[in-house]
Amino acid sequence: MPAGADELRSFGRRRGRALSVRQASLWRDLLPRVAVPPQAAALANPLGLFSRDVREVWLEIGFGGGEHLLWQAERHPEAGILGCEPFQDGVVKVLAALAERDGGNIRVHADDARLLIKQLPAASVARAFILFPDPWPKRRHWKRRLVSEATLGELARIMRPAAELRIATDIAAYAEWILLAVRHQGSFHWTAETAADWRQRGNDWPATRYEAKALRAGQPCSYFRFRRT
């Protein structure tokens, strides 16, 4: 099923500049080796998707340039990470990194994450990340926002009890939207006890280029951690 066949896209363009010869080669030759298999049967046991033995499965929705994805995979070899990114430029950045390192605990879904989420088994994901999603600031576009009660409901289905969901944004209005969506959906508990818990990333949460851009522009960021109830 093509992305957006039954729901609005939550992201903008898929491609930027034309791929270089090297990038085209990575897309053609490496991506098929590290891609999440398209067959639904292969997803029945997500732990078996990886060429390395892993103990649990994590999910990153919209990995951008891949800094966070690669950092987490390197420091948590026991976790198999499914990285989703529909923008071709971001995918080839991760492919270039994987060509130079062991990426046995990474699998790439180069499409809308919601298509993958729908195929994952219940209670199969131990941690999920949504970092700096497109805020769609115009009111008429709010229906395209990735963080919604519908998406949270799908995540609640695939996440284990007590699994952690991390969401970051540099848009104050979107931060409020996220908290309201979480409250209304009802399957996640916000773990913050003090303001510092959501105003600071913490040592296990690396910076990304999008965060750096926001901070240079003087926009404070919100770093939310939610627990699946």
Reported as a pLDDT band with limits 50, 70 and 90, residue 9 is low
Check pLDDT > 50 for residue 11.
Answer: no
Residues 130-179 have pLDDT tens digits of 999 999 888 898 899 999 999 999 999 999 999 999 999 999 999 999 99
Query: Alpha-carbon distance 83 to 99, whole Å?
Result: 16
DSSP string, 156-214: HHHEEEEEEEEEEES-HHHHHHHHHHHHHH-SEEE---STHHHHS--TTS---HHHHHH
Q: Please give the pLDDT value at position 170.
A: 96
Residue type, position 43, single letter: L
Q: Please give the pLDDT value at position 87.
A: 92
- Catalytic residue (one of 6, 29, 112, 134): 134
Q: Please give the pLDDT value at position 4.
A: 44
CB-CB contact of 69 with 47 (8 Å): no
Q: Which CATH class is domain 21-228?
A: alpha beta
**Percent of the chain's residues with pLDDT above 70:** 93
Sort residue 153 into left (φ over 0), alpha (ψ -120 to 50) or beta.
alpha
Nearest 10 degrees: Cα torsion 92, 93, 96, 97: -140
Reported as a pLDDT band with limits 50, 70 and 90, residue 13 is very low
2-6, 70-74, 130-134, 166-170: range with lowest mean pLDDT:
2-6
Nearest 10 degrees: Cα torsion 104, 109, 110, 115: 180
CB-CB contact of 109 with 35 (8 Å): yes
Annotated domain spans of the chain: 21-228
Reported as a pLDDT band with limits 50, 70 and 90, residue 55 is very high
Check pLDDT > 90 for residue 114.
Answer: yes
Q: Is the sign of the CA dihedral 27, 31, 32, 38 positive or negative?
A: negative
CA angle, 183 then 185 then 186, to 5°? 65
Active site residue 204: no
Strands 159-169 and 188-190: unpaired
Which tokens is 223 given? 């770093």
Query: Alpha-carbon distance 222 to 116, whole Å?
Result: 26
With tokens 């930027």, the residue in question is 16
